[in-house]
Structure 1
């Protein structure tokens, strides 16, 4: 079976910026999820490599970095603290999460949708996406990111990675264009019966909070 083609993996073009929310926040059109650098997907990755990856992402124009105090725990935020020294902090926005006390398990194999009985059923959906990706000259991951980018000009995906090459592939997804009929085709795949919940039930009990308006913040 021929290898799936990928969109050009280049960061020569700086990641464009976009408005996020209604309070004037401007971020890159593609963020960087940092969880896997410190937790869940195997052992923590070498710190110098991850610092270099973060610097590479910032140099490419990424300004939105996602972390949490539970990643590690705490070591991911510490990693970012080291990576953002020397003036880098002023170039990015940090998104974090806190207050998660127990039960968080990032192991993909433990999620309902990835259990053996569900994985086999969902393979058909993945094969359809892969076929369309090959037709578009990109990977399935790039097609998924392109679908997110086409949801609106105020939607910023935050894919995670621990490799510069994979990051470059994610940036290249910005060049994948989807016509309305192709979006409809992808939506038809999503309407199929996907077996298994995406997350565990306890995650539905978590509460999200809205950031207070900047006008309400007072310096001390």
Structure 2
């Protein structure tokens, strides 16, 4: 199995397995098609993984997401709901690629400004994620109370499969322990906020955003647990 297909296919099969309603299935598939989240770099560091590989994988998945997220979402979620692939492509460009280019230009030509605002960016990013995910859950609170267990189970299964198959497939390919840990984390942790933004803008049912918002909590918990476990053991290649 291609490692890059683990999350999209897992989301699709979990939706089938749990017989999720179309709006939840579409949201779960959407988050499964999103690129890796930047928090994975921190988790990789804590887990004694290969940080350089983590950064490269996050950058590569973020750039490829401009094409692959709309394509895979239309291909898989289109079986449940109508998907505007062109609209998803434009929004993904706006949310993913344009900020990266703007950041690179600012860092190149406006370094004094970058140094001034850099300390403010991490807490601002955390606050933004909290507001977006909190808003998505708050808007659908009544529906979540009725079927939230199903969504939480689906999100947990999705990320558990990502962490598990990411590690197993990496080891089967002959990669060392540190790199396998890194791939596990990169596969298991998604840019759920991108999923929330795309779901809110391009899917008519607001419940589609719920799996994306729940996902942001699930992958953070799973990633933190793995980091805590793996940090206790130094990979053999790092002992030398």
Same fold? TM cut 0.5? no
Q: TM-score per shorter chain, which class?
A: under 0.3
TM-score by length of 2: 0.23
Higher helix share: 2
Higher strand share: 1
Considering only CA atoms, is the larger Rg found in Structure 1 or Structure 2?
1
TM-score by length of 1: 0.24
More relative contact order, 1 or 2 (CA 8 Å, 6+ apart):
2
